[in-house]
Structure 1
Amino acid sequence: MGAAPMALYRYFPDRDALLQAAADHVLEAMRRDPVPDGPRPDRLRARMRAGQANLRPYPQLMPYMTTTRHPAWIPGLTRLCEILAPAGLSDEDLALAVALISSTMLGHAVYEGHRRPDEEMTALLDDTPDPATDPLRPLLAGLPAAHARLHDTILDQTVTTVERLARTPAQ
């Protein structure tokens, strides 16, 4: 960019403020994602998939997204409430549903952003031969397929839990 790295500090007092601004930017971009029409479970799945796609590239920003001092996360919660309002949830169950959905999206984004690649896990076993780890080899062979299915499995369980809390059936 032709600018000195320290030039950033003209706009941000410290590293935390810079990372907070980046987190707020990602959250703002998520706010603009459209929520499709359709049955509530499908809308929740679509919202969570879009959120996951937006969060996955930025696992280092997750602490700033969860502890933001700015209201950038409010539109996202408002969107969830709009989707969940027809469910007839009590205030306590609505809070639980929003916390469950948010922690599912953030937690999986952190997991995906920080887990070791499957090939690296296999290489670790190959580098340290130990008969006690032999039972792990078939498991490791199945990890790529398991990781491909993991987000949808977690997403389905989250939506199922929210639907169980609902007083009004999904339409």
Structure 2
Amino acid sequence: MLPQRRTAPASSTQAMMQKAVTQSSDFYRSSNSVQGYETRVAANKAARKEKKGTLTQWFGMKRTTLTESQKQDLDLLQYRNFVSKDATHQAPKKTTIDQTDFVEFGYFSGTGRNKRRRYKTFADEWMEENPELEQIVKQRVKRNIKANKKEKEKTARKEKFAKKKGKESQQSKRKGKKSASADF
């Protein structure tokens, strides 16, 4: 014969379940809680996004969205050697590798300028420092435009020559076919 099981009355079972730790809403919020699938996936997604948006080797620098004026300032920084009147520099080669979303802006403390003499952009500061700068830039732009125009004319002549040569070769092929058919 099987031993009989004692069952507790329904009210005592409910009372025990109310005392149980898993029934309290705080259980799922505490650090020792069991995470649900959705919360675990969301946490992993947030961690991946955070890792992608920070540079670990630069003390967790965050990715920033640049405004148009900040992008223009970065371009001017690339061209800072281009405008020096002492040397003839070419414009820097622009690559996608050079441009990054991780940028930090600030003020250098030893500029030697007081707040009244500071300008909004690098271009304004350079124009104030070197009044001949505008002429230098105009000369170089004019020279570059002239060089670009010559290059375009040269490529146009090459294309024209290639078209002419292509037409001649097509006509000679046609003549060859006509003369071959005339022999028969």
Give the alignment's TM-score, normalised by structure 1: 0.30
Structure with larger Rg? 2
